[in-house]
Amino acid sequence: MAVERTLIIVKPDAMEKGALGKILDRFIQEGFKIVGLKMFRFTPRTAGEFYKVHRERPFFNELVEFMSSGPVVAAVLEGEDAVRRVREIIGPTDSEEARRVAPNSIRALFGTDKGKNAVHASDSPESAKEEICFIFSGLELV
């Protein structure tokens, strides 16, 4: 299995709850190396650009409003099979479903519902590359 890099974003709801440290620590405990780290706030425009694949979805405006509602922290995680493993650790999109099927997942522990679900993670090696480049410059990755 190859060493990969993937992107996570601790979303505004988890930041507001003070869950940043616990979420980053979980990934460290799971064996990932943090190779990039940044706190910022999306504008509606940059949130819309980041989530452009969802432009036509009924929840797009809600998603953009939520993601630009407060600061976030983005991290690039490196490890074996990182894209798949990180998706597994965060759990399903809907936090309520996560509490049923993956009670130790990050969304089960820190998410509220389908929209406010604590954390983003890239869903493929291709989207990981694109998302990392959207948020980090080469100089910001170690």
Residue 5 lies near ligand IDP (rule: CB under 6 A): no
Neighbours of 53 (CB within 10 A): 11
The entry of ligand IDP, Mg ion, none that residue 107 binds, CB within 5 to 8 Å by partner kind: none
Do the Cβ atoms of 41 and 9 come closer than 8 Å? no
Answer whether 115's CB lies under 8 Å from 124's CB.
no
The single residue of 48, 120, 122, 136 carrying the catalytic annotation is 120
Region of 4-12, 24-32, 64-72, 115-123 interacting with Mg ion (CB under 5 A) = 115-123
Residue 93 DSSP SS3: coil
Task: Check if 120 is active-site.
Answer: yes
> 134 or 140, CB closer to ligand IDP?
134
- Residue 102 burial (C-beta neighbours within 10 Å; 0-12, 13-18, 19+): middle
Which residue lies nearer to ligand IDP by CB, 49 or 62?
A: 62
Q: Provide CB contacts within 8 A for 136, sequence distance 6+.
A: 36, 38, 74, 76
**Partner from ligand IDP, Mg ion, none binding residue 115, C-beta < 5-8 Å depending on class:** ligand IDP
Contact call for residue 130 and ligand IDP (CB under 6 A): no
Is the Cβ of residue 25 or residue 49 nearer to Mg ion in the bound state?
49
**Which residues are catalytically annotated?**
120
